[in-house]
Chains A and B, each alone.
Chain A
């Protein structure tokens, strides 16, 4: 059986604008129970934030994003953590993941231009102690992110029938 906490989180992951009342209606719990679960999840850091998923290509904003593969020489006793934390501190960095496979850290970056991103990699990332190599891949088009398809807003194609 999936517990109430997990059920509430699944609804919020679908759409964080659902109110405690909406979710309690769906789950047959009381509004207070759901509100308590949400408060607890915020307190213990299970819920870290609520953000809109934006397709910046629909705006005038100058914007590029890139995925940087980073090879790291792990430190004794620290592994990859200290380098990863160092990278996390930069505001340009959107996400940092430790990966299995041919490189160690996958870093998503945002910047105003390709030049700005490239310079950031060279001047800020490549020089960090422990970083032994980088490979920059610019995002050319975003098709889907966080489960949402970007390039086509689906229209309701249902037709009126006798049903």
Chain B
């Protein structure tokens, strides 16, 4: 077999992830501490697991409707209304997906074809550009900078728009920087988008992990933006349900119809047991969200205080569960810093460059770890820096 001739050029040219390699090395160092995992350390709350067990014991294991169980879509509609004052029709405007990732893939494939441009702020989660390429589109990177709090600026956006622009990704709260775009920031972006035919994919998977004093705010709430926005959200980060693979997308029915068709042919439906668990999460999970958010906030403040006392510059992230300190004073590249830090201090972190060129000079530290774990890591960082 000539396997190489079978693979498409696009598949062959997809960039391998830059996140994993340090962790393969770390696994071989017995006392290595990892600070890289991008999933909650909390277990899925017991009442949610119990709901799944109940569903299993009742034999609720068949396919659901393609868009997801109607009671779950009703709960999602009620959640979007309760938290964001946004109204979506559960019958036509909501699809339950296999995590937020499937939703992102389906939306991109629904609107992007050969030559279309997708605007992607970076640093950001690593899937947008490869999925755009797989759909035949062209990723256009919008760099964001520490001086702007890693927010997308209207100027950067304006300069990148061409006749071929189809889609803008809005990945906030942001992985890896922890940056948050607030109402006023979104209004400036909206002013640029008004009058264009550009769709927005608001990846709001971290939206509940917000440490600012402002109320939660979705891009779709921005004046005039709901009609051009598909919100992607899910249960993974909010309810510590990563392995359940359950997310959702809400948006205009004209687009959601296509998203649903791709979902129907590619996936059929999201896992049924997970859907029952998700109903329980949305109905009775608000206290769990708050408990986890408070714990993350404790750790976030601990790390920011530690960086301050070690004179490691770090802008204050207001969302997600990552900090993104600037280590450019300590090494010539973030990869070099990570290799050396792992080798000498036995701590594995992710180089900022893995999330785009504008992440160079930074490292991503996840605080989805216990305070004890973080204290141990900070002790090692201190020894490493002080030599």
Contacts and interface: CB of A to CB of B under 8 A. Distances in A.
Contacts of A22: 298, 301-302, 371
A22 B23 CA distance: 29
Contacts of B137: none
B295 A26 contact: yes
Interface stretch (B32-40, B107-115, B330-338): B32-40
A26 B294 contact: yes
B19 interface: yes
B79 interface: no
A27 interface: yes
B41 interface: yes
Nearest to A10: B291
A52 interface: no
A156 to B, nearest CB: 7
A160 B301 contact: no
Contacts of A15: 371
A61 B301 CA distance: 40
A15 B38 CA distance: 24
Nearest to A163: B38
Interface in B39-59: 39, 41
A28 B126 contact: no
Contact of A26 (B34, B213, B297): B297
Contact of B126 (A18, A159, A162): A162
Contacts of A21: 301
Contacts of B213: 28
Contact of A158 (B37, B295, B300): B37
Given A18-B371, A26-B294, A28-B213, A163 B39 contact: yes
Given A22-B371, A162-B17, A162-B126, A28 B297 contact: yes
B344 interface: no
Interface residues of B, number: 25
A161 interface: yes
Interface residues of A, number: 18
Given A158-B37, A162-B19, A25 B297 contact: yes
A107 interface: no
Contacts of B20: 160-162
Nearest to B300: A25
B319 to A, nearest CB: 15
Interface string A115-129: 000000000000000
B341 interface: no
A109 interface: no
Contacts of A26: 294-295, 297-298, 301
Contacts of B300: 25
A32 to B, nearest CB: 16
Nearest to B242: A163
Contacts of A108: none
Contacts of B23: 160
Interface string A1-44: 00000010001000100100111011110000000000000000
B125 interface: yes
A5 to B, nearest CB: 15
A15 B299 CA distance: 14
Contacts of A158: 37, 39, 41
Contact of B36 (A7, A23, A160): A160
B91 interface: no
Contacts of A18: 298, 371
A92 to B, nearest CB: 33
Given A18-B371, A160-B36, A163-B125, A23 B298 contact: yes
B103 to A, nearest CB: 14
A15 B370 CA distance: 11
Nearest to A161: B38
Contacts of A27: 294
A23 B291 CA distance: 12
Interface in B232-273: 242
B310 interface: no
A146 B371 CA distance: 20
A18 B213 CA distance: 23
Which 4 A-B pairs rank lowest in CB-CB distance, beginning with the nearest?
Answer: A25-B301, A160-B23, A26-B298, A163-B38
26 contacts: A7-B294, A21-B301, A22-B302, A23-B298, A25-B298, A25-B301, A25-B302, A26-B294, A26-B298, A28-B213, A156-B34, A158-B39, A159-B37, A160-B20, A160-B23, A160-B24, A160-B34, A160-B36, A161-B20, A161-B39, A162-B19, A162-B20, A162-B126, A163-B38, A163-B125, A163-B242
Given A26-B294, A156-B34, 19 more contacts: A11-B294, A18-B298, A22-B302, A22-B371, A25-B298, A26-B301, A27-B294, A28-B297, A156-B41, A158-B37, A158-B39, A158-B41, A160-B19, A161-B19, A162-B19, A162-B125, A162-B127, A163-B38, A163-B39
